[in-house]
């Protein structure tokens, strides 16, 4: 199995994300999930835009954990140098629910659009799909795109309530 490394810089933090190459015996329509631990599956990130001060941000990152659960990490910073991180073990269907929204809103094709968010919040969704990462932001969304960001955030935030 080939291993790919994707390196991203987000909020001054270097993130290294591992992704699997093609996996054998994948059935049509089946979600492809890497077997390695702590591979990022989905990421929702938001920060206030256009402020002169430190920009507060909120992030929910879903990772692989074990055969039965996923790891959900919640990052919060109110505009200071202090970042709080809380980790939760959540059911595997959280990733399925996120991917259902990805398909409903056709996020893979958003990079071809050009509308910008006017709500003062910059948002990003990244997700793992068939061995690659796809990233969309409020800079690249269709006119009705804010609801996709709200729905993905809601699925991930509700998973905190189902955490073990």
Q: Which domains does the chain have, with CATH numbers?
A: 35-161 (3.30.1560.10)
Per-residue pLDDT, 42: 96
Strand partners, 10: 13
Strand partners, 8: 15
Cα→Cα distances 46→4, 11, 19, 65, 110, Å: 26, 11, 24, 24, 18
- Please give the backbone phi and psi of residue 63, each rounded to the nearest 5 degrees, phi first: -125, 160
Rounded average pLDDT per 10-residue block, the chain, 164 residues: 37 38 45 73 89 79 92 88 90 94 92 63 92 89 88 94 72
Per-residue pLDDT, 161: 80
Least Cα distance to 48 among 38, 39, 58, 63 occurs for: 58
């Amino acid at each position: 199995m080939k291993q790919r490394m994707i390196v991203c810089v987000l909020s001054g933090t270097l993130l290294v994300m591992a992704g699997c190459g093609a996996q054998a015996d994948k059935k049509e329509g089946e979600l492809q999930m890497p077997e390695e631990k702590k591979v990022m599956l989905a990421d929702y990130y938001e920060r206030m835009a256009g402020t002169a001060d430190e920009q507060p941000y909120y992030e929910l990152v879903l990772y692989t954990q074990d055969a039965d659960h996923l790891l959900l990490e919640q990052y919060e910073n109110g505009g200071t140098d202090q970042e709080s991180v809380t980790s939760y073990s959540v059911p595997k269907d959280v990733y399925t629910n996120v991917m259902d929204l990805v398909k409903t809103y056709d996020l893979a094709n958003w990079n071809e659009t050009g509308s910008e968010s006017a709500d003062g919040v910059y948002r990003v969704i990244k997700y793992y799909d068939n061995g690659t990462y796809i990233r969309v932001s409020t800079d690249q969304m269709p006119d009705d795109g804010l609801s996709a960001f709200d729905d993905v955030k809601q699925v991930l935030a509700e998973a905190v309530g189902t955490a073990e």
